[in-house]
Amino acid sequence: MNILSSNDLDREQIEKIFNLADKIKENKEELSLKENSILALFFEKASTRTRTSFEAAITQLGGKGIYIDAQTSQLKRGEPISDIARMLSSYCDFIAARLYSHSDLVSMAEHSSVPVINALTDLEHPTQALVDMYTVLEYKRNPKNVKIAFVGDIATNTANSLMITAAKLGASMVLVGPKGYLPNSTYFNKAKEYGEITFTDEIEKGMEDVDIIYTDTFVSMGQEEEAEKRRKMFADYQVNSKMLEYANEDVLVMHCLPAHRGEEITGEVIDGPKSIVWEQAKNKLLIAKAVLLFLSQSNR
Ligand code: CP
Ligand code: NVA
């Protein structure tokens, strides 16, 4: 089994991953992988958290991570992803890949004999969505009573994955972004099959009854050439104290990080009392371990 997309996990499987994360957190059982398990971390784009949390996770579970990047591997000189996948999977037990193109990730999985984990592509960030919903449920126990507002770049990879995972767990969502800028219709329509999801360009309306405000960068990796245009386009959708005034008093603020203070979120909000971004970031290690354990159990 692979985790290429948030669509790859049904509700039961998401809950299984969360139960494993709970067990790790409570330290109730000795959980480990097959001795000397190897995780290849094949990264074409930068990463602080995802790389480190997966490397720490495999190490703490008794295995080892091997990091390979585009610059120092033969990918840069044109080696096909399919050949890389064949070879990596003959050395390693898992591959976590962060690639520009989602179709390259699909090709990697087609040519791999071991589980492939999406560590972010242009379309999705499924392990981040698991981290996000696990964190939401730590604060708001019943997902059916949770409404999440995703604000800013509502068509980004983190939005696509969160829509699916949140809807599968029963949470409702509103996407709040500029007029004429639409969510990815494939993910939006899929999320609609599972739960309540809407989008609006009106901030005040978007904040109605919202329990969680979530944002991400206005300029994702690979969009650097459009940076100026995107910063202008999303400027009104900055998560700031004025926006928070429209939401519930006990609203919580999340961000997948890295954050750009003064752009998609103010320093006052991300470093303020409603922000749970550090707990969210911390949970990446728990979820990385839970995902590796889940895949090892699913592929036995
Ligand atoms: N949230 C996240 O994926 O962070 P990194 O880009 O640092 O891995
Ligand atoms: N949307 C962001 C997420 C970073 C974790 C990006 O793709 O750069």
Query: Distance (Å, rounded) from C-alpha 265 to C-alpha 200?
Result: 19
Does one domain contain both 121 and 214? no
Tell me, using a 6 A CB cutoff, whether residue 128 lines ligand 1: yes
- CATH code of the domain covering residue 55: 3.40.50.1370
Q: Report if residue 217 sits inside a domain.
A: yes
In this structure, the chain runs to a length of: 300
Spacing, Cα 43 to ligand 2 middle (Å): 13
Dihedral over Cα of 218, 153, 109, 280: its sign: positive
Which residue, by CA, sits nearest to atom 2 of ligand 2? Answer: 220
Given the CA of residue 256, which atom of ligand 2 is nearest to it?
5
Does one domain contain both 116 and 140? no
Does one domain contain both 274 and 135? yes
Q: Report if residue 171 sits inside a domain.
A: yes
Give the ligand at the shortest distance from the Cα of 288. 1
Domain containing residue 166: 128-280
Q: What is the pLDDT of residue 75?
A: 87
Q: What is the pLDDT of residues 113-131, one digit of tens each?
A: 999 999 999 999 999 999 9
Q: What is the pLDDT of residue 172?
A: 97
Q: Report if residue 96 sits inside a domain.
A: yes
Q: What is the pLDDT of residue 29?
A: 72
Does one domain contain both 110 and 204? no
Q: What is the pLDDT of residue 183?
A: 97
Spacing, Cα 82 to ligand 1 middle (Å): 25
Query: Distance (Å, rounded) from C-alpha 233 to C-alpha 286?
Result: 35
Q: Report if residue 4 sits inside a domain.
A: no
Q: Report if residue 109 sits inside a domain.
A: yes
Which residue, by CA, sits nearest to atom 6 of ligand 2? Answer: 220
Does one domain contain both 208 and 250? yes
Does one domain contain both 224 and 114? no
Structural domain total, the chain: 2
Spacing, Cα 29 to ligand 2 middle (Å): 34
Q: Report if residue 44 sits inside a domain.
A: yes
Does one domain contain both 84 and 149? no
Protein residues with CB under 6 Å of any ligand 2 atom: 120, 156-158, 216-217, 220-221, 256
Question: What is the reported pTM?
Answer: 0.97
Q: What is the pLDDT of residue 124?
A: 98
Task: Please work out, in degrees rounded to the nearest 5, the angle formed at the alpha carbon of residue 225 by the alpha carbons of 223 and 231.
Answer: 70
Give the ligand at the shortest distance from the Cα of 100. 2
Dihedral over Cα of 135, 218, 173, 128: its sign: negative
Q: What is the pLDDT of residue 74?
A: 86
Q: Report if residue 233 sits inside a domain.
A: yes
Spacing, Cα 277 to ligand 2 middle (Å): 15
Does one domain contain both 153 and 259? yes
Residue 80: asked if its preceding bond is cis (omega within 30°), the reply is: no
Tell me, using a 6 A CB cutoff, whether residue 118 lines ligand 1: no
Does one domain contain both 276 and 288? no
Q: What is the pLDDT of residues 18-49, one digit of tens each?
A: 999 999 999 877 788 988 999 999 999 999 99
Give the ligand at the shortest distance from the Cα of 280. 1
Does one domain contain both 139 and 193? yes
Does one domain contain both 251 and 138? yes
Spacing, Cα 263 to ligand 2 middle (Å): 14
Does one domain contain both 263 and 275? yes
| DSSP code for 123 | S
Q: Report if residue 1 sits inside a domain.
A: no
Stretches where the chain sits below pLDDT 70 are 299-300
Spacing, Cα 193 to ligand 1 middle (Å): 28
Q: What is the pLDDT of residue 300?
A: 58
Q: What is the pLDDT of residue 246?
A: 96
